[in-house]
């Protein structure tokens, strides 16, 4: 069977048995999710890349030493490692770093580079960065649940346990996060349109 058709669980088994290509596929599948989870917490591209490496190094050690415990999904497991490392980093720093703009390397590393113009990639990147800024403006509890559920792929039950609240509270926070984000996006678009037409 082609490696891209294998489930995460089958890839982990294959990797533990010594197939490095299986690990490459796992990295390819989950790098964006793990990276975004970290980036939304630490708000700095370079720090997020360092922590991404640290996350996968921990995962490599756990899997290769036979300590990987297949209880839940691989994606939830690795995102939880990433989330914990990012929170630890944030607490260590005890400050809120400035949001850094995406550097050019991300743009030039996009697979679709050859199919899209540099300008359209730039606009898309700016829109995505703006959305990440809007997420940063959410109340901390809502932002936390949103990152854990949407990007770190944790279930609401797992989030409730990790944050010490009831599942209904976790669901309520997620709902408000989505509603607030929708409002912010709507206001953001209006402000953008007004700027556009006033010129």
Positions in the binding site for another protein (CB under 8 A): 20, 23-24, 27-28, 31-33, 35-36, 39-40, 45, 48-49, 52-53, 56-57, 60-61, 64-67, 102, 105-106, 109-110, 127-128, 131-132, 135, 146, 149-151, 155-156, 168, 171-172, 174-175, 178-179, 181-182, 185
80, 37 in Cβ contact below 8 A? no
Nearest distance from C-beta of residue 198 to another protein, angstroms: 25
Q: Largest alpha-carbon pair distance within the chain?
A: 63
Distance from chain centroid for Cα 194: 32
Torsion 180-181-186-189 (CA) sign: positive
Q: Which is nearer to another protein, 2 or 53 (CB)?
A: 53
Nearer to another protein, 64 or 190 (CB): 64
Sequence length of the chain is 199
Identity of the residue, 61 or 199, whose beta carbon is nearer to another protein in the bound complex: 61
- CB 184 to another protein: min, Å: 9
Smaller CB distance to another protein: residue 185 or 198?
185
Q: Find the shortest distance in angstroms from Cβ 133 to another protein.
A: 10
For the chain, the first-to-last Cα distance in angstroms comes to 58
The tokens describing 139, both together, are 């109340």
Is the CB of 31 or the CB of 122 nearer to another protein? 31
Residue by residue, DSSP assigns 75-120 as HHHHHHHHHHHHHHHHHHHTS-PPPPPPPHHHHHT-GGGGGS-HHH
Least spacing, CB of residue 169 vs another protein, in Å: 10
């Amino acid at each position: 069977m082609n490696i891209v058709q294998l489930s995460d669980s089958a890839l982990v088994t294959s990797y533990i048995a010594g197939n490095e290509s299986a690990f490459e596929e796992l990295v390819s599948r989950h790098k964006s999710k793990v990276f975004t989870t970290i980036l939304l917490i630490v708000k700095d591209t370079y720090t997020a890349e360092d922590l991404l490496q640290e996350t996968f190094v921990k995962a490599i050690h756990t899997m290769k030493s036979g300590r990987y415990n297949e209880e839940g999904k691989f994606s939830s497991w690795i995102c939880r490692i990433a989330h914990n490392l990012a929170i630890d980093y944030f607490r260590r720093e005890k400050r809120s770093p400035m949001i850094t703009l995406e550097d050019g390397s991300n743009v030039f590393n996009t697979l679709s580079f050859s199919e899209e113009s540099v300008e359209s990639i730039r606009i898309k990147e700016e829109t995505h960065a703006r959305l990440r800024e809007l997420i940063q403006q959410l109340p901390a509890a809502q932002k936390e649940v949103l990152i854990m559920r949407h990007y770190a792929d944790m279930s609401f039950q797992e989030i409730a346990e990790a944050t010490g609240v009831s599942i209904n509270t976790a669901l309520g926070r997620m709902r408000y996060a989505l509603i607030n984000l929708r409002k912010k996006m709507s206001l953001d678009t209006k402000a953008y349109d007004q700027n556009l037409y006033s010129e």
